[in-house]
């Protein structure tokens, strides 16, 4: 992804001269090395703005569990396989699932798909609420406030879109768009560019100015379609890191919508990051945070809604203390799935308290990683809070409650363990100093949580 920096210059920048006069007037200065000067934004829906994937995963787990009468260990496998199968056409995904979970003799891909579709009736009474993708509403609200014209380009049909929105976390999401284009309005679906041409036209942008449109996509097919339409394209993959190669065509790849640097595309810069002026920003080796604008300090993003995660401390991969000298009190992701789907994988900080024998140690500050720990290439998601307190003994099985308050960064890969350790210690400093300097407000609302 770092390499995208040099390969990303969109030709919209080099094609002055043949732009409309109107377009020229709107042109503002773009930061040195920025990817492009875009003025319009086009969004994909599923997996980009709303998390339909999580619901599909749940249905797959429920259906396969029933078919195989399986135990909780196998449920974890189903859960992982379902996640892996995301972003494909339904039948392809079903085939992958049958193969990975060795379901031959139990169910065939077509039947499995049928069973899942029966359960997945979007918009019907009793369906789970479809959560927004982390950072989606922050992005939409900000662009709306800055009067950036926006369109939706979804493969979903109009009818299905209405149903999905009825059950969405943010029911009025469609009000943010100046144009809406659905899958049944085009002859060919993504990866064909047709739907992005349509969205561009509806935004009133001529074909030769397609590079002024910034597309947000989560799948490789979507990226291909956007690029074929001549648009600039940001990918926020819904597929695993191992599959990130499939996103090579994108102008830039981010781990989540929270990490997007709009100014790199000629759009207004987010105003809600808070600098921790006492902690210097150094782009570590292995650090994938890219920005063309030089950043001087570490920073954090206060969550719009703090999140409480509670559960027994479980055994993790057994390497935190041994390998890193940094113990992390792991929580089980399975019962907390709904809550952590609200968070982008990444590094967060907040508070933690133990509710068993260690209750008397009080409330502690904590930094945590929620995700796949790319350095170790974990296949399973984990929640790993490092409590910034020295304990006399381990506290496995004791109930731990964590209050997640702020986002710091995406997970990174590092070439050496020392670099990883150094980075984690820096995260701890960001947390300590953010609280010491009183940079985190909104804690009053949670004052009951702090009473032990
Ligand atoms: P595991 O892989 O099993 O999580 P770790 O090496 O990460 O093993 O050690 C984590 C355990 O260490 C926790 O479950 C907890 O019992 C203990 N521990 C001791 N001090 C701390 C601390 N400051 N933060 C988190 N866990 C701690
Ligand atoms: N692991 C990574 O692979 N990449 C990271 O960027 C990363 N950042 C972390 C930040 C914090 C604050 C903590 C507590 C852990 C982080 N880890 C990261 C996770 C670390 O790999 C994990 O705790 C150990 O693997 C123990 O299981
Ligand atoms: Mg641990």
Interval 8-13 mean pLDDT: 34
From 259, 287, 333, 424, the mutation candidate for ligand 2 (largest count of ligand atoms within 8 A of CB) is: 424
Which one of 13-27, 122-136, 335-349, 391-405 scores highest in mean pLDDT? 391-405
Q: How far is the CA of 364 from the centre of ligand 1 (A)?
A: 14
Strand partners, 370: 346, 383
Q: How far is the CA of 427 from the centre of ligand 2 (A)?
A: 10
pLDDT of 8 strictly over 70: no
Closest protein CA for atom 20 of ligand 2: 373
Return the closest-CA partner of residue 172 out of 341, 257, 50, 51. Answer: 50
CA distance 30 to 23: 14
pLDDT of 216 strictly over 80: yes
pLDDT of 21 strictly over 90: no
Is the CB of residue 376 below 6 angstroms from any atom belonging to ligand 1? no
Interval 291-296 mean pLDDT: 66
> Active-site residue 251, yes or no?
no
Interval 76-91 mean pLDDT: 77
Confidence of residue 244 (pLDDT cuts 50, 70, 90): confident
pLDDT in tens, 23-56: 444 444 555 557 889 999 999 999 999 998 878 8
Is the CB of residue 313 below 6 angstroms from any atom belonging to ligand 1? yes
The mean predicted confidence, pLDDT, of the chain is: 88
* Percent of the chain scoring above 70 in pLDDT: 90
Which one of 122-126, 171-175, 217-221 scores highest in mean pLDDT? 171-175
Q: Work out whether the CA dihedral 419, 420, 421, 426 comes out positive or negative.
A: positive
Interval 341-351 mean pLDDT: 95
Q: Give the Cβ contact number of residue 171 at 10 Å.
A: 11
Sheet holding 232-235, edge to edge: 179-181, 150-153, 40-43, 213-217, 232-235, 252-253
Strand partners, 307: 404
CA distance 316 to 294: 37
Confidence of residue 7 (pLDDT cuts 50, 70, 90): very low
Interval 251-266 mean pLDDT: 94
Q: Which two tokens stand for residue 111?
A: 């039947």
pLDDT in tens, 144-157: 999 999 999 998 88
Closest protein CA for atom 2 of ligand 2: 373
Q: Which two tokens stand for residue 428?
A: 């701890």
pLDDT in tens, 117-128: 888 888 787 777
CA distance 289 to 273: 14
pTM score, whole prediction = 0.86
Q: Give the Cβ contact number of residue 70 at 10 Å.
A: 16
Closest protein CA for atom 17 of ligand 1: 394
Q: How far is the CA of 433 from the centre of ligand 3 (A)?
A: 24
Return the closest-CA partner of residue 57 out of 25, 23, 83. Answer: 83
Q: Which two tokens stand for residue 159?
A: 């009818």
pLDDT in tens, 261-287: 999 999 999 999 999 999 998 876 555
Report which ligand 1 atom has the smallest distance to the Cα of 393: 19
Report which ligand 2 atom has the smallest distance to the Cα of 372: 3
pLDDT of 412 strictly over 70: yes
pLDDT of 3 strictly over 50: no
The active-site residue out of 44, 53, 83, 288 is 44
From 284, 285, 420, the mutation candidate for ligand 2 (largest count of ligand atoms within 8 A of CB) is: 420
Confidence of residue 219 (pLDDT cuts 50, 70, 90): confident
Confidence of residue 415 (pLDDT cuts 50, 70, 90): confident
> Active-site residue 44, yes or no?
yes
Confidence of residue 364 (pLDDT cuts 50, 70, 90): very high
Query: What's the confidence (pLDDT) of residue 133?
Result: 95
Ligand 3 ion: nearby residues, β-carbon < 5 Å:
316, 320, 328, 330
Is the CB of residue 391 below 6 angstroms from any atom belonging to ligand 1? yes
Is the CB of residue 319 below 6 angstroms from any atom belonging to ligand 2? yes
Distance of CA 29 to the CA centre of its chain: 29
> Active-site residue 46, yes or no?
yes
Q: Which residue has the higher pLDDT, 1 or 112?
A: 112
Cα dist from 255 to 131, 261, 335, 354, whole Å: 18, 12, 24, 31
Strand partners, 369: 347, 384
Report which ligand 2 atom has the smallest distance to the Cα of 320: 26
Strand partners, 298: 276
Is the CB of residue 238 below 6 angstroms from any atom belonging to ligand 1? no
* Percent of the chain scoring above 90 in pLDDT: 66
Map tokens 């804690």 to a residue.
Answer: 443
pLDDT in tens, 190-209: 889 999 999 999 999 999 99
| Sequence-separated (6 or more) residues with CB below 8 Å from residue 177 | 43, 150, 151, 152
Q: How far is the CA of 79 from the centre of ligand 3 (A)?
A: 21
């Amino acid at each position: 992804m770092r390499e995208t920096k040099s390969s990303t210059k969109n030709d919209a920048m080099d094609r002055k001269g043949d732009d409309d006069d109107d377009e020229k007037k709107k042109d503002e200065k773009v930061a040195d090395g920025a990817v492009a000067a875009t003025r319009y934004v086009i969004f994909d829906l599923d997996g980009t703005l709303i998390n339909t994937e999580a619901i599909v995963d749940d249905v797959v787990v429920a259906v396969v569990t029933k078919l195989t009468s399986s135990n909780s260990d196998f449920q974890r496998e189903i859960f992982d396989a379902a996640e892996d199968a995301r972003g494909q056409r339904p039948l392809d995904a079903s085939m992958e699932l049958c193969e990975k979970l060795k379901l031959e003799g139990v169910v065939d891909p077509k039947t499995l798909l049928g069973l899942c579709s029966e359960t997945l009736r979007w918009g019907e009474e009793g369906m789970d609420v479809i959560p927004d993708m982390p950072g989606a509403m922050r992005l939409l609200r900000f662009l709306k406030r800055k009067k950036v014209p926006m369109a939706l380009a979804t493969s979903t049909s109009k009818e299905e879109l209405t149903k999905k929105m009825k059950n969405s976390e943010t029911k009025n999401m469609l009000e943010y768009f100046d144009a809406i284009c659905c899958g049944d309005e085009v002859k060919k679906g993504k990866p064909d560019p047709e739907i992005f041409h349509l969205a561009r036209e509806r935004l009133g942008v001529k074909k030769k100015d397609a590079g002024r449109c910034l597309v947000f996509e989560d799948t490789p097919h979507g990226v291909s379609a956007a690029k074929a339409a001549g648009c600039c394209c940001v990918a926020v993959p819904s597929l695993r890191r191992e599959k990130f190669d499939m996103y090579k065509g994108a102008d830039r790849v981010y781990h989540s919508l929270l990490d997007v640097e709009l100014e790199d595309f000629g759009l207004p810069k987010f105003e809600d990051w808070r600098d921790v002026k006492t902690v210097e920003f150094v782009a570590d080796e292995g650090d994938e945070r890219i920005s063309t604008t030089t950043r001087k300090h570490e920073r954090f993003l206060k969550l719009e809604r703090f999140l409480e995660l509670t559960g027994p401390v479980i055994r993790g991969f057994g390497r935190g203390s041994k390998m890193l000298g940094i113990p992390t009190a792991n929580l089980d992701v399975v019962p907390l799935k709904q809550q952590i789907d609200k968070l982008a994988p990444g590094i967060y900080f907040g508070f933690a308290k133990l509710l068993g024998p260690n209750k008397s140690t009080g409330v502690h500050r904590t930094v945590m990683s929620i995700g796949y720990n790319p350095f170790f290439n974990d296949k399973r998601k984990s929640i790993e809070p490092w409590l910034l307190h020295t304990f006399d003994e381990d506290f496995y099985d004791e109930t731990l409650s964590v209050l997640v308050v702020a986002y710091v960064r995406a997970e990174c890969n590092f070439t050496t363990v020392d670099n990883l350790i150094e980075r984690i210690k820096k995260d701890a400093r960001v947390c300590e100093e953010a609280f010491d300097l009183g940079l985190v407000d909104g804690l009053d609302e949670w004052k009951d949580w702090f009473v032990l």
